[in-house]
Amino acid sequence: MSERLLARAAIYGALTLFAAFYLVPLAVVMLNSVRSTEDINHSSVIGLPSVYVWGNFAHTWSSYCIAEHCTGIQPYFWNSLRMVIPATVISTLLGALNGYSLALWRFRGDTLVFGIITLGVFLPEQMKLVPWAIVLRDLGLFNTISGLVLIHVIQGISFTTLFCRNYYVSIPADLLKAARIDGAGFFRIFWRIVLPLSPPILIVTVIWQFTGIWNEFLYGVTFSTGENQPVTAALIALSAQISQAPQYGQQSAAVLMAAAPTLLVYLFGGRYFVRGLTSGAVK
């Protein structure tokens, strides 16, 4: 019994140590978000606030001037949501479908197709910038949020397919065989068997897509203008430029607010990780 206790203590000890390591940067940013620019400039970016300044949040959210519009990051935040929600949902659904057909409805050449799609995750953003400009021009989607959604869906399918396919291959073949004998078709099996098994991988996929698209900067800045720009563009506008004194306090507040939606996805998605859900649904 004491051995078991020791093991539990070791587990919690290790988890706590790791948690501390992961939390350090967050602590630094949180502390800075309530410090004034003068405070930081007169001491250091790492330190306790001499006076707590809560105004950083309200100011960056709704009244900081970016590009002649003193609206804070708020409108850009909504732009990002308008871009990230459809792009995440569509790419996750298509990825689940792709993964399902590649993993469970094998066809001739499926490995090659999967290989090519997987290669897509390796293409560096920089390399695709000019071709995407040509594609958007030809589709007439330049400077639109739809254009950005299109880019993120197509690039995202590579990732979502990879995750889902590799998850679905571990679904026992017997389950599907039984269903097929019962006369279930392609969609019925997807809907009744595969989807109920999917929450853990779907939450991983959604997290991946949501955060990746949310934090993407290069395309957002290049392929959208003015009031259509995503929040990352606004964040960069807040950050240091050659001829600017950095506004660490406001930057930190903005970073925290911009990360809020992703954190919410984790918190609400977390319960889908719980063990037992899968076995309960199948049997």
Partner 1 sequence: MPQISRRAILAGSAAMLAIPTTPHAQGAGGAKPKVTVISQWSAGSDGAAITTLGKEFERQGGIWEHNPVPGFTTEMMNKLRAQIIAGDPPAASQLKGPEIAAWSKVGAVVNLDEQVKEAGYEAVVPAELARLSKPNGHWIALPIQAYRINTLFVSKKAADRIGMTSLPTTWSEFNAAAEKMKAAGITPVANGGIKWDDGMKWEIALCGISPDAYRKAVMELDAKTLQGPEVLAAFRQFRKLGEWSDPGSAGQHYSTFIPRYMKGDMGMLLMGGWAQGVFKNAGFQLSDYMVGPAPQDDGKVAFDLNADEFIFWQKKQPEFQQGQKLLAKIVMGKAFGPMYSQITGSLPVRTDTDLSDPGFSDGQREAARAMSEAVKANRVVLSLAHNMAQTNQIAAAMIDVLTEYVHDNRIKAEEGQKRLVEAVDSIR
Partner 2 sequence: MMAWRQRWDRILPHLVIWPPLLVSCAYVLVFSVWTTWVSFTRSTLLPDYSWAGVRNYTAMLASRNWQIAFTNLFIYGACFVVLAMAVGLLLAVLIDQRIRGENLFRTIFLYPIAVSFVVTGTVWGWLFNPSIGVQKLVHDLGWTSFRFDWVIDRNMAIYTIVVAAVWHGSGFAMALFLAGLRSVDADLVKAAQIDGAGAWRIYTRVVLPTIGPIFVAVLVMLLQFAIKTYDLVVALTAGGPGLASTLPALVVYDFMFQRGELGRGAAAAVMLLGSLTVVLIPYAGFRAWQNRRGAARV
Looking only at residues 22 through 61 of this chain, which bind partner 2 when binding is defined by CB under 8 A? 22-26, 28-29, 44-46
Tally of residues, the chain: 283
Distance CA 16, CA 70 (A): 42
Q: Is 259 in the site for partner 2 (CB under 8 A)?
A: yes
Q: At 107, is the secondary structure helix, strand, or coil? A: coil
Paired residues of 69 in beta bridges: 66
Looking only at residues 140 through 199 of this chain, which bind partner 2 when binding is defined by CB under 8 A? 154-155, 157-159, 161-163, 165-167, 169-173, 185-187, 197
Looking only at residues 206 through 225 of this chain, which bind partner 2 when binding is defined by CB under 8 A? 207-208, 211, 214-215, 217
Contacted entry of partner 2, partner 1, none for residue 175, CB cut-off 5 to 8 Å set by kind: none
Tell which one of 1, 112, 181, 242 touches partner 1 (CB under 8 A): 242
Distance CA 70, CA 233 (A): 15
Distance CA 30, CA 34 (A): 7
Nearer Cβ to partner 2, position 70 or 178? 178
Amino acid at site 204: V
Tell which one of 21, 108, 138, 242 touches partner 2 (CB under 8 A): 21
Helix or strand holding residue 245 (H, E): none
Contacted entry of partner 2, partner 1, none for residue 257, CB cut-off 5 to 8 Å set by kind: none
Q: Taking the chain, what is the end-to-end CA distance rounded to the nearest angstrom?
A: 34
Distance CA 20, CA 195 (A): 36
Distance CA 89, CA 94 (A): 9
Q: Is 118 in the site for partner 1 (CB under 8 A)?
A: no
Looking only at residues 8 through 37 of this chain, which bind partner 1 when binding is defined by CB under 8 A? 37
Q: Please report, as ranges, the residues that interact with partner 1 according to CB under 8 A.
A: 37-38, 40-45, 65-68, 129-130, 133-134, 136-138, 142, 217-218, 221-223, 225-226, 233-234, 236-238, 240-246
